[in-house]
Amino acid sequence: MAGPAGKIMLLPEDNPNATHIMIATGTGVAPYRGYLRRMFMESVPKFKFGGLAWLFLGVANTDSLLYDEEFTKYLKDYPDNFRYNIALSREQKNQRGGKMYVQDKIEEYSDEIFKLLDNGAHIYFCGLKGMMPGIQETLKRVAVERGESWEEKLSQLKKNKQWHVEVY
């Protein structure tokens, strides 16, 4: 068996106090489960995580939440280092009354997300490639509302190796 190859979805361990914003739809949450286990469960002599891991997960229904018990336990055990937001498209409504998608959750927290990105946070996207257009549109709209150019911001995030996308 083989999966995606390359360095896009590797967890950078050069700064154990970094912020990692992880956005997933469905089974795209799997790499983040690995990241979180590394951050919170493994005893790694040269890597003691002290930063912030913030997971946004979008699925259709509550019964589709993969690893929810693990993530909820991290919330309890590491309240200063882990945040967890879910978007349930068939159970929740967004601020405009439509279905709640992961990009709607991103928009809810956009001020904080943009500030974290400005301060060097890494942002990851994993899941079906169909998730990216809606997320990109949301991020662009938020940037414009903030008086920023999304194209310039995205270019800078890529240049700084803060932007990580693995969609399929």
pLDDT in tens, 101-157: 999 999 999 999 999 999 999 999 999 999 999 999 999 999 999 999 999 999 999
Please indicate, yes or no, if residue 112 is contained in any of the structural domains. yes
pLDDT at residue 1 in the model = 47
Q: Is residue 103 part of a domain?
A: yes
Distance CA 43, CA 117 (A): 28
Residue 140 lies in a domain: yes
- 49 within some domain: yes
CATH code, 66: 3.40.50.80
pTM of the model: 0.93
What does the alpha-carbon distance between residue 110 and residue 104 come to, in Å, rounded to a whole number?
9
Between residues 85 and 45, which one has the greater pLDDT?
Answer: 85
What percent of the chain is modeled with pLDDT above 70? 95
Residue 50 lies in a domain: yes
In-domain check, residue 2: no
**pLDDT range class, residue 14, cuts 50, 70, 90:** confident
Q: Check pLDDT > 60 for residue 2.
A: no
| Structural domain contains residue 109 | yes
Question: Is it the case that residue 84 has pLDDT exceeding 60?
Answer: yes
- Band (83; pLDDT cuts 50, 70, 90): very high
pLDDT band for position 45 (cuts 50, 70, 90): confident
Backbone φ/ψ region at 111: left (φ over 0), alpha (ψ -120 to 50), beta = alpha
Q: What is the mean pLDDT of the chain?
A: 93
User: How many independent structural domains does the chain possess?
Assistant: 1
Confidence of residue 24 (pLDDT cuts 50, 70, 90): very high
Q: What does the radius of gyration of the chain's CA atoms come to, in whole angstroms?
A: 16
Quick check: is 74 in a domain?
yes
Enclosing domain of residue 143: 19-167
